[in-house]
Structure 1
Amino acid sequence: MKAFFRIALLITAVAFSAATTLQAQRVVKGTVYRDGEPAAGITVEVHRGGTMLTGFDGQYELEAHEKSKWIKFTYINDTKKLDIDDKQGNVFDFAWSGEIPSGDEEEETGEVVLKTAEELINEQDRDFMNTYSLYNEYYKQENYESALPHWKTVFNKYPKSIKNVYIQGAKIYDHFIENAETPEEREKYIDQLMKIYDKRVKYFGEKGYVLGRKATDFLDYKLNTDTPPEGEALKETMKKGYEWLNQSIEEQQTETELPIFVLMMQTTRSLFKLGEIPKETVVRNFDKCNNLLNTIKSEAEEDKKLEDITKVQAYIEEIFGSSGAADCEALISIFQPQYEENKEDAEFIKSMLRRLGDANCDESQLFAQATERLYELEPSAEAAFNMARRYVQRDETERAKKYYQEAMDQETDDDLLAKYYYEYAYFIFAKENALSEARSYARKALDINSDYCEALMLIGDIYVSASNSFGDDAFDKASVFWLAVDYFERARRAGQDCAIDASQKVSTYRKYFPNKEEAFFRDVQEGDSYKVGGWINETTTARF
């Protein structure tokens, strides 16, 4: 009987397989493009057929049903559909954004010689040797303009000759990007730099490593500019960088360069704040990065590397904690048993309080217990700072101010002191609307770290708040927004930590700039230096 059932099951399985084969009469395939380039990380699903994720070449090939009606393309949380019900053939290229390339790009034209530099030299290929020599000589002189035409010849005709063509080509285009005269010219150079990275992968591999470098340059150049992307363009920029970073870490695993973990978490946080990824993805990415860092740490032998890994872990924990995705209940369930075992360890309590504070879990009973315990063990500046935060939550303003002052008076570490100045400034701004005093402490934080983006954002917010009661007329009030936007712009350029919020505030508050008619009666022209007086007493640039 058992044998019969085994045979029956086998027959059923074979019959099902045969039926599936008979139904899947069609195989659809194609390439997915983003902005003219093959797109990796796109989930392709065929109606009544299969599903797959595109790789670096952007290609897909899936079994379909003869009556399949559509193909869906999903990138993170966005889905687009291509109807194929009335289309002939089985090859469907798809442009997620931009256009499907025509295939006539410059680098694909002309003769292509797929030989290494060693082979070309052994064969005495004079064209290669002379061209490479010319470009290399100009490159060493940092005369990149003269090097470029010779570099292009090697890049296009001898793409497999030597890896240095890509490494040095990236440096050449870094120079052009940084010295571009127009936004359009800058974009053209950024696009070319991205193609250099793609072609390097094609001919020399190291996909994970190269994608990490590609994402780093892409996000740096796209975001740190006088004309950063906004709205949907900003989302697309962040998603593209995120895609490359994600692939880089998947490929590299424990060989991932440490800065890539930081950039991955920064980009993750930004996309979460933009509503492009769910909380679960933030948690998953943090776990992945942290677990890989723990493995790297366990294998590290040099003290310097251990120190660097510890700093990176602390930073990504801070990013995760401040993302808004870190759930207090989950964090407390993790830390509560650890705290019970480490009540006498001041360093552990400090680390735990920092993470709970970054995640805005300072109203919890655990935070209160640990704060008091740390002050008992070590009445240090940091312990006083945590006591201040506790009294802020209890709305005991005067006691909070007392501990803030104690922390600021005692602290000797510049980074922590800047943080205390900033938090005190934010506290008296939020609780007492003490605009001038709050700005004074925010400036103290900036005196220590001029790129402290949260302090820059705070001064911008202070000026926005001041605008309603400032000056004698509408022009005086509106002129304050010039200064506010100045600070939001500085915060945006200071790094990814504030880039999203700063960009949104720039977009919001420049709408309140004075208009040209008001300025005309003040004899103020576009681009003039303008002094905003009163207690603000700062100079800005007029724009409309």
Structure 2
Amino acid sequence: MKKLLLFLFLIFSSSSLMAQNATSPPDGMSEVGAYSLFLENYKSDSFEKAVKFGRWIWEGMPESIEGYSRFELKRNLRRLANSYSGYAEELEDPAMQEAYADTALQIYDQMFKKYSDKSNHYSWYINRGRLYQTHSNVFDNASAKASENYYKAFELRPEEFTNYGDGYYIQVMLQEMIAQGKKDKALSVMKKAEPYASEKLKTTFNDKRNQLFESPGERITFLEGRLKENPKNQKVLSSLRDLYREQEMTKKERSVAEKLYKLNPSYGNTMALADFAVSNANHNMAIKYFNEAMDKAQSDKQKAEISIKISDAYLNSGRLRKAREYARSATDYDSDWGAPYIQIADIYARAVSKCAEGRKMERRDKTVYWLVLDYLDKAKRIDPNTTNEVERKYKSYSPVTPTNEEKFFWDPPLNSGDEFKIDGSLMECYEWINETTTVR
């Protein structure tokens, strides 16, 4: 059907053609004259005219042209295929697009049959693959056929094809293989191409490999295999560390994290060891690595976040004064962040729990919650993003502040708005707080 459409269209598109043999130049022109016009129009991307003056070349397949000794059929067949493809792109009628694109494909098929020498096949496979891609709207299974052609080019020259088009074509080929479920073939291609690939393309290969594995276990097995090939591959080690963490493979995670740290004690690798220590409640080790990471941090935001993490480690180990010290440091690095003020509120709430441990909470303990609420208010005021968390904590802490009765029987009675000192005058265990709040 495609050939019939093309035949009819070509006949009626030029009345002069009806009286001519398709293997002869148009309009009674000489071969050298028609070839000259074909070449001129091809080079200027005037594909409609290039087709008109060059059609006879692929129909007649002349090995030479009288009057032009440099004519080479092989090169001009490629030019004709490009001309038919280019003209098809310019057409609006889908049927005509299909006819001209199909003719370009026929020319390539004829070229492969005529020239068994593979010296030109590499570029022809790429060009035919691009033809399928460009006209995917008219060719069935165009993506698969493009990929097949690119793979044939890869087989001929793997190093050259890997970086051809800055790696674009090998990525197109691999994506199609993955879409078709050709897992082993895609892995084989990447393994063969990797020695020639740029760092950017290697990263792409790693991403595509991850697409091929249906479970974390498969990814781990694959990455462990790659690590045997190169035990110092930091990208593989980093991926394994993250996978081990996701799968709660604690011993392996720690081992890989330590290897990465020894290979490169960067900020990220140091933080990874610190976070690992936190997850295993090893607070002293976490503090050690967080402090080391602080020296490697590149921004005040990073330093603020580390300060909070150190504060957390001290808080969880019951060292409240040090916890407050680092929470305050976080405010120095980022004064618009509400989290450090929430942290201080939590530290003071923990101070009450610690001080009242083993006994009933007294009204003196309850006054500390006024200070807790002060810090929650400040967090919400400077950082609206903390609103939900502040409101949730308010519901926990507000009910345990001193009642009106407890304030009345204070000596002297306490009135709302009065200043009130939270220090050793309440109890010795609050001496280190040494802050002033307001009676609520």
TM-score normalised by the shorter chain: which range applies?
Answer: 0.3 to 0.5
Structure with more strand by fraction: 1
Higher relative helix content: 2
The higher radius of gyration belongs to: 2
